[in-house]
Amino acid sequence: MCGIFACHNHCDVQKFKPTALRMAKAVRHRGPDWSGNWSANNTILAHERLSIVGVDTGAQPLLNDDETLALAVNGEIYNHRILRKQLKTPYNFKTHSDCEVIIPLFIEHGIDAPKFLDGMFSFVLFDKKENRVIAARDPIGVISFYQGWDSKSPGTVYFASELKCLHPVCDKIIAFPPGHVYDSKTGQTTRYFEPKWWDPTNVPSQPVDYKLIRETLEKSVRKRLMAEVPYGVLLSGGLDSSLVASIAQRETLRQRDAQKNAESAEADDNSGLVGIDDENDLSTVTTLAQLHSFSIGLPGAPDTEAAIEVAKFLGTKHHAFTFTLEDGLSALSDVIYHLETYDVTTIRASTPMYLLSRKIKAMGVKMVLSGEGSDEIFGGYLYFHAAPNREEFHKETVRRVKNLHLADCLRANKSTSAWGVEARVPFLDKQFLEVCMGVDPKEKMITKDRIEKYILRKAFDTTDEPDVKPYLPEKILWRQKEQFSDGVGYGWIDALKDNAELHVTDEMMKNPKPEWGNDIPDTKEAYWYRLMFDEHFPPTCAGTVERWTPTWSKQTDPSGRAIAIHNAKYENTQ
């Protein structure tokens, strides 16, 4: 991950520059490798860099030859090599950075440039000739991004990777909408990402193609191995992270074999090393001697045991970390500071991930693959058992995917970037989304003979393919869903609830803060998190937060095990 801070149309940029650099410094944890800034006219761009691709030459902001275009980017563009080859006008690239291709794309396509990008990103591009700023965010909002304004300076607009950069200088802040592009020339923010599945009333009727699901996810994982630094996989032991780890391990072994063959060929005939093919949209890959996988949980956590079993089956170098209840409770305030939310589900799940990311960074790993998005696409949460029909099932999956930037994407992005680690999410690949959100939702529905995420499990079930090595042990492939905050150990959620009782009284519950308006916490745990959020952020930031509860359910606790179907289904799958 990287960190961005940008300000456009400021009355005195040079006077504001020290403040801008201080705001950028607030997200230096996202990009500890280098700091850069550039200013012209009434605009300043500041960038905190985490180097993953183009390590030696990718310092930002990036500039074109005559320095009339300046770009600050956070993210990865997986198809950058293909885009470079497709440019109609030659462009003098100054770096090996995957993100630099955005400049010539803007030259050729204007504000349509984001439509061509395959990746996760947020960026601010300044056109000096037109005194114009373009800002955009990836289709699903994997990368965090915010926009702000100051009522004392109504013509000025601000952008940043995190809220903590904006609230000291803005009194109005929004989460920049995923799949949109902003143009200061018109002052408009428009949606560029327009997939077939976007309209929830357009219920698909496409039959499921198991082979296509498998091949598309495999391609998605391969793309995300684009790196020049050590990488690994987050392996909770659940279906989603286990499938990602399995595919990544297969690709790692394939690359290792290809490299050995190439080295052998070079020794024989002095030929060059075989590179990564363009079809996979990759540039360069650094392969560790062994793929490293990581998990975390309380001692004896169900996910940790499953993760160890999966790692042994796949042959990854696994690191099973544990944390104590005290570790987690002590980190809560810091977690909320980095997450910038008070949503109960997000905080519960993010705390172990935050602790794990620190361990990962200490090992020298800078990029990890993660399994977010699958439950939203396939209706994997246990409350989907209660979906009344295919139309409502599909409507809820669309809603959940659209809101990922406020929940699981926010968790994955900020929990890892808090320690300078980048998380990539193969399930949220544009092509994979198009395939899987286009499947008739009746194929996804949970029935008496179909467990949640049945079609994903079936796509990777090789029982009838004797020539294909199994992707996962059968009992992992068909293991019931455990939400991450549950899977790290049931004692975690119980400890959070118990401690909330100590910090929030019944009297406090009856008298919420007036500035909270209608956004009133409905449990003591939610109230406690809101208090900690308020210690870090003013009320202007609360509008960027969404508190989540399941549909078709009256429960106030978002935990998966709070749903009655959990125990019944879990017993049937043992």
What is 1-19 written as a DSSP string?
--EEEEEES-S-HHHHHHH
As a whole number of angstroms, the distance between CA 213 and CA 195 comes to: 17
The residue among 350, 318, 323 whose CA lies nearest residue 337 is 350
* pLDDT tens per residue, range 171-216: 999 999 999 999 999 999 999 999 999 999 999 999 999 999 999 9
**What are the backbone angles phi and psi of residue 322, rounded to the nearest 5°?**
-120, 155
Query: CA of 439: how far to CAs of 320, 324, 436, 456, 516, in Å?
Result: 36, 42, 5, 11, 41
Domain 3-194: homologous superfamily in CATH: Aminohydrolase, N-terminal nucleophile (Ntn) domain (3.60.20.10)
pTM, whole model, 2 decimals? Answer: 0.93
Q: Output the pLDDT for position 256.
A: 82
Mark 303-341 as b/e (b = at least 16 C-beta within 10 Å): bbebbbbbbebbebebbbebbebeebeebbeebbbbbbb
Q: Give the single-character DSSP code of 301.
A: -
SS (H, E, C) 469-500: CCCCCHHHHCCCCCCHHHHCCHHHHHHHHHHH
Q: Output the pLDDT for position 255.
A: 84
Strand, helix or coil for residue 95: coil
Q: Output the pLDDT for position 567.
A: 54
As a whole number of angstroms, the distance between CA 559 and CA 569 comes to: 15
Residue 516 is which amino acid?
Answer: W
Q: How large a percentage of the chain has pLDDT more than 70?
A: 91
Q: Is the peptide bond before 61 cis (omega within 30 degrees of 0)?
A: yes
Residues of the chain with pLDDT under 50: 270-278, 280-287, 485, 569-574
Work out the number of other CB atoms within 10 angstroms of the CB of residue 522: 13
422-424 and 367-369 as β-strands: parallel, antiparallel, unpaired? parallel
Residues noted as catalytic: 2
User: Which secondary-structure segment (H or E) carries 122?
Assistant: strand 119-127
* pLDDT tens per residue, range 101-158: 999 999 999 999 999 999 999 999 999 999 999 999 999 999 999 999 999 999 999 9
Fold of 210-325+346-497: Rossmann fold (3.40.50)
Q: Return the structure tokens found at 434.
A: 């198009």
**What are the backbone angles phi and psi of residue 505, rounded to the nearest 5°?**
-90, 165
Q: Return the structure tokens found at 382.
A: 């246990």
Measured in residues, the chain has a length of 574
Work out the number of other CB atoms within 10 angstroms of the CB of residue 448: 4
Beta bridge partners of 37: 46
Contact 233, 244 (CB under 8 A): yes
Q: Where in the chain is the domain with CATH 3.60.20.10?
A: 3-194
Q: Where in the chain is the domain with CATH 3.40.50.620?
A: 210-325+346-497
Contact 359, 387 (CB under 8 A): no
Contact 483, 570 (CB under 8 A): no
Residue entry with tokens 């042959």: 315
